A and B are shown apart, each in its own frame.
Chain A
Amino acid sequence: MEKTWNNKAWFMVLPVLVLVAFSAVIPLMTVVNYSVQDTFGNNEFFWAGTDWFIQVLHSSRFWDALQRNLLFSVIILSIEIPLGILIALNMPKKGFGVPVCLILMSLPLLIPWNVVGTIWQVFGRVDIGLLGYTLAALGIPYNYVNNVFDAWITLIVMDVWHWTSLVVLLCYAGLVSIPDAYYQAAKIDGASRWSVFRYIQLPKMKRVLLIAFLLRFMDSFMIYTEPFVITGGGPGNSTTFLSIDLVKTAIGQFDLGPAAALSLIYFLIILLLSWIFYTVMTTSDAQN
């Protein structure tokens, strides 16, 4: 379908453009400004060139945090995407079960990030948390405060709990758009459950899966609030992701220059990776 031609439509999006300018472009330019200068307060700035960038890129702190970020994203994507698809496939397609499931699925998405962090921070506490206490009572050693493995598990389980619903809802939307005739034809052709998934459901879910994948990647790569609330980046630096490191550098140490350089690098990494994923996934789609 061709678009309706109407020049006045541009005026409608003008407020958004202004908003984006103030909320994104101007702060971004400020960051660029900080990243190439040095300051000791009093609004005195000295030209630093690419010094901060070089410093950041040579620090093991940055590379360690980046590795943690990538590991975290890979783990949660490899859990949430298949799990989300699996749940979506098993959701009822009609009847009263549909609204019930949809509401249940939407619940975690409605809770603010910091509250999610707090819930899990309390939930996992060995002294008063339901999870932590139960595990301790069962004799399973669990303590996210001083055990690296436990801290990671807690963050991953929390993220899966919080965000799998998003993948489910997107996949479900893709699934319900498939006409019944496809399933009937597949039955008649003697297709197995796997073939139905591989040749009917997956192709129809491809577009929404791409969106789910990108959203979950970007979100998980930028995770901040939850680890900040639950582990505070610890034990040690084991859950110090780039975002937490960035805040420590900027607010904790007031190293505005390196922090600005770090945030720009961070921003570029997300942009680059998202673009790569998008291109790879859409070109493989076009080739078919």
Chain B
Amino acid sequence: MLELTNITKVVGADTHIHPTNLVLQRGSLNVLLGPTLSGKTSLMRLMAGLDKPTSGTIRFDGKDVTGVRVQDRSVAMVYQQFINYPAMTVYENIASPMRIAGKDAATIDREVKQAAELMKLTPYLARTPLNLSGGQQQRTALARAIVKNASLVLLDEPLANLDYKLREELREELPKIFAASGAIFVYATTEPGEALLLGGHTATMHHGSISQFGSTIDVYRRPVDLVTAKTFADPPLNTLAVVKSGGSFLQDGAPLLFVPAHLADIADGPCIIGFHPYHLSLDGTSDAAAVLPARIIISEIAGSESFVHVESAGARWVMLEPGIRNIEPDTRVNLALDTRHLMAFSTDGRAIAGRLDRAA
């Protein structure tokens, strides 16, 4: 178990990490999700012991490791860049942490072969990393991190430099590999979709703070504030400032849409509503749908689905439509908003829990 208690990191006049508390369980996969410079790497460096926190304590299995150097901790790290020993073969690269640990040759051989099999590297063991594709190089780095048998494995955007399809394959494989090991995995990414595919737990980061930590799908579906909801949305979250009054959300005093059942009992007054692009559609007709007039800005077709940028109620939104929807700009349409998943936030950005959420 890794416990961060009131950790901060201040470098000169810049606060890289605001007071942070986080508890990561053994055998868990934890995603740090946030844009560039949100503090993911800084936090990982503190966890690894590469940097010393300005204040606060770090405990590993109850033992205070705050001042312990990275060499004396059981940590493995994989970076965005493919970092391997260029002069060694893949076999020797994977074997290197065990050689340093002084394991016997038979154990090394067995574990290297096992890791290579897991990472689909068996045919390439005799090659040097420079003769491998990017995906294979990164697999080598991952295999090395795994054989090290560290109790904490940190992965800093490990798939960012790989081709789209390779990323997809590794994303599917990685959770299996993680599950087989008993270590704590921490995985930093800028992509919400990656966090969702990996599952596990997610901590959303924003300006050097963790805005929410919990099971990935829970953080996605029930963000505690607007910042979390926005960080955890790709395509971007659609938002609108409205005033709740009885059974309606008003804009400029006029009713815009009805208040769905799960938000019926929240207090009247100004609030911000948020919803994902796939909750907007062109032809939703269910009872749960509110109808909003809109103007098309541009349509982007992504094969199985289309991203339609629209302007409605004075705001710019994205609508995710299944199939091919190539609508001419400036066309006037009526959008159906599926209100069953509507999120509400106070004007200062905190989530307002509806009846269903509280029940859940």
Contacts and interface: CB of A to CB of B under 8 A. Distances in A.
Interface string B4-36: 000000010000000000000000000000000
B11 A2 contact: yes
Interface in B28-53: 45, 50-52
Contacts of A2: 11, 45, 51
Interface string B49-88: 0111000000000000000011000000000000000000
B11 A5 contact: no
Interface residues of B, number: 7
A4 interface: yes
A4 B48 CA distance: 11
A283 interface: no
Nearest to A8: B69
Contacts of A4: 50-51, 70
Interface string A1-32: 01011100000000000000000000000000
B52 A5 contact: yes
A149 B70 CA distance: 64
Nearest to B50: A4
Nearest to A5: B52
A98 B2 CA distance: 52
Interface string B247-284: 00000000000000000000000000000000000000
Contacts of A5: 51-52
A206 B51 CA distance: 32
A2 B44 CA distance: 13
Contacts of B51: 2, 4-5
Nearest to B70: A4
Contacts of A6: 69
Nearest to A6: B69
Interface string B171-198: 0000000000000000000000000000
Interface of B: 11, 45, 50-52, 69-70
The 3 residue pairs across chains A and B that have the minimum distance between CB atoms = A5-B52, A2-B51, A4-B50
9 contacts: A2-B11, A2-B45, A2-B51, A4-B50, A4-B51, A4-B70, A5-B51, A5-B52, A6-B69
Interface of A: 2, 4-6
Given A2-B51, A4-B70, A5-B52, 6 more contacts: A2-B11, A2-B45, A4-B50, A4-B51, A5-B51, A6-B69
